[in-house]
Structure 1
Amino acid sequence: MTDLAPDQGGEAARRRPRRWHILVFLAPTVIIYTAVMILPLIETLRQSFFNVVDGEHVFVGFANFATLFGDPRWAADFWNALGNNFIFFLIHMAVQNPIGIALAALLSLPGLRFAAFYRTAFFLPTLLSFVIVGFIWKLILSPIWGVAPWLMDLVGMKALFGPWLGKSGSALIAVSLVSVWQFIGIPMMLIYAALLNIPEEVIEAAEIDGVTGWGQFFKIKLPLILPAIGIISILTFVGNFNAFDLVYTMQGALAGPDKTTDILGTFLYRTFFGFQLQLGDQSMGATIATIMFLIILTGVCIYLFGIQRRIRRYQF
């Protein structure tokens, strides 16, 4: 019996059908993703080490990076865009995600009337185009023909209104809050799904112990959804450091006023394609894109290897 068992196992393994259909189904996705994402990324990284000299592409090593960080003109614009990008990200982390978590907690309350309508209403802006959202809010906030002054006058707060998109101190905050309004439905729905995934036995045990209301949320539910909050945080980081469309729609390629809303996406656009009197520079544009890639890669790695491992996981 002991001699036959290995032979039978090997024969069963030989008779096991090969699942070629898996490769057939994966092939279109792999090909499209490689053509649209992987190859352009590799070409961008390669181009950052080259420059055009006398009409020919010449390998210059890290000279483009030295120019980006060492040349006063390039360095000033880069650090300004990077700083604005971090502010853009922090506003989303401090406003969008907490409000999204609070909305998800409210929508998960049992017996809430019109919960489906509220979910749809909060998530609907996420489906809208950046261009539509940017132009609508630009019209709303306009001090000339916008409805914001009139709406604030209805509640006696017209004195607080100002041309927020035209002031250096408030333009970036205004654009960030518009982005928060558009994408608040994403953390809300992800957290809502995580809350629904909590077993009823845990909630019932908490209620038996007298833990109800917001105390139940903070003591029981919040620790259980920490992995989902971590996913939302890293998605927010990646999305914000890839942002471009909304700022371009509301403030233009120059990201006014005086580049106070300039982020890495708009800085990359002006550099690579050129704008007005600025000529496009593909090598420097690829260099900025490479820096953006490295920043996002660093943030993702910190999350995966430093934060995610420390998030307490509950298994049932």
Structure 2
Amino acid sequence: MIYPLAETLRLSLFREVDNSAVFVGLANFADLFFDSRWSDQFWNALWNNIYFFIVNMLVQNPIGIALAALLSIPRLRGRSFYRTAIFLPTLLSFVIVGFGWKLILSPLWGVAPTLLDFVGLKFLFAPWLGKEAYALTTVALVSVWQFIGLPMILIYAALLSIPEELMEAAECDGVTGAAQFWKIKLPLILPTIGIISILTFVGNFNAFDLIYTMQGALAGPNFSTDLLGTLLYRTFFGHQLQLGDPHMGATVATVMFLIILSGVALYLFVIQRRITRYQM
């Protein structure tokens, strides 16, 4: 892992001139940020990636926590079935999920229009993957569907690890139901929520497979679903009329690495310490 990372960092500091690598320092980064040949697509992909992460963070994780809380209720019947059914999509490959949802949402042969028509809501259907305004949100929600089982199962395990004596003491003090979850359980599972958050951050800023499967390397329509991962692919390897540039591709990869490193460092040295201090 160390050698490819070091080689990527080295490539980002060079440029191909007359079939030879010439050291240019940070010139590739300046081009990526400010040269219109690269910057338009880069900033578009970065903002799309931030939006993609926000959707996953605000939809996937709260629903996962709510499902875990419901599944931890001892009186709930069929908990094992629900747990397995919700977690199952996480085990599927991106190719299966991407092509499956692409078929489901197709306005020509997809089942989504038929199902909406069956319940009298066909007027709500639109070619969501083909409209710039909705495509990224649609892909993000497909990602939520696939990975919602991960926060659910982690939070579920954290809830089961809470000592029963603590819950009995809370009940003796009159803390029951929803109040018991908010006042007792939630503070105890904050470290697990923090881990889920940073895993979501890293996974979303490394996202590539689902977008490539559903929208192709050009992340259409009109780059509306373009993320840093698809931009890296096109820049490094080239696509259609765009020639590949390993040095600029390495520059994009380095920026992705620095973004992820910054997020992880923020969690480890700021958020994690505050959570530990809060628990103490």
Question: Structure 1: which amino acid aligns with 2:23?
Answer: F
The answer to whether the aligner puts 1:94 opposite 2:58 as a matched pair is: yes
How many equivalent pairs are there? 279
* Corresponding residue number in structure 2 for 1:260: 224
* Corresponding residue number in structure 2 for 1:213: 177
Question: Structure 2: which amino acid aligns with 1:79?
Answer: W
The answer to whether the aligner puts 1:197 opposite 2:197 as a matched pair is: no
| Mapping 1:223-238, distance limit 5 Å | 223-238=187-202
Deviations 1:169-223 (A, max 9, x none): 0000000000000000000011001101111111001111121111211111011
2-structure distance, mates of 1:149, 1:265: 31
Give the secondary structure class of the aligned counterpart of 1:52.
strand
Q: Which runs of 5+ in 1 are unaligned?
A: 1-36
Deviations 1:232-252 (A, max 9, x none): 000000000000000000000
What RMSD over aligned residues (CA atoms) do the two structures have, in Å? 0.9
Question: Structure 1: which amino acid aligns with 2:153?
Answer: M
1-structure distance, mates of 2:6, 2:37: 28
* Corresponding residue number in structure 2 for 1:26: none
Find 2:233's aligned residue among 269, 284, 288: 269
| Mapping 1:63-82, distance limit 5 Å | 63-82=27-46
Question: Structure 2: which amino acid aligns with 1:89?
Answer: F
Find 2:265's aligned residue among 298, 301, 315: 301
Shift in Å at residue 314 of structure 1? 4.1
* Corresponding residue number in structure 2 for 1:106: 70
When normalised by structure 2's length, the TM-score is: 0.98
Give the secondary structure class of the aligned counterpart of 1:57.
strand
When normalised by structure 1's length, the TM-score is: 0.87
Deviations 1:114-170 (A, max 9, x none): 111111100000000000000000000000000001111122111000000000000
The answer to whether the aligner puts 1:60 opposite 2:40 as a matched pair is: no
Question: Structure 2: which amino acid aligns with 1:195?
Answer: L
Q: Which runs of 5+ in 2 are unaligned?
A: none
Q: Which has the larger radius of gyration?
A: 1
The answer to whether the aligner puts 1:175 opposite 2:136 as a matched pair is: no
**What is the identity percentage for the equivalent residue pairs of Structure 1 and Structure 2?**
74
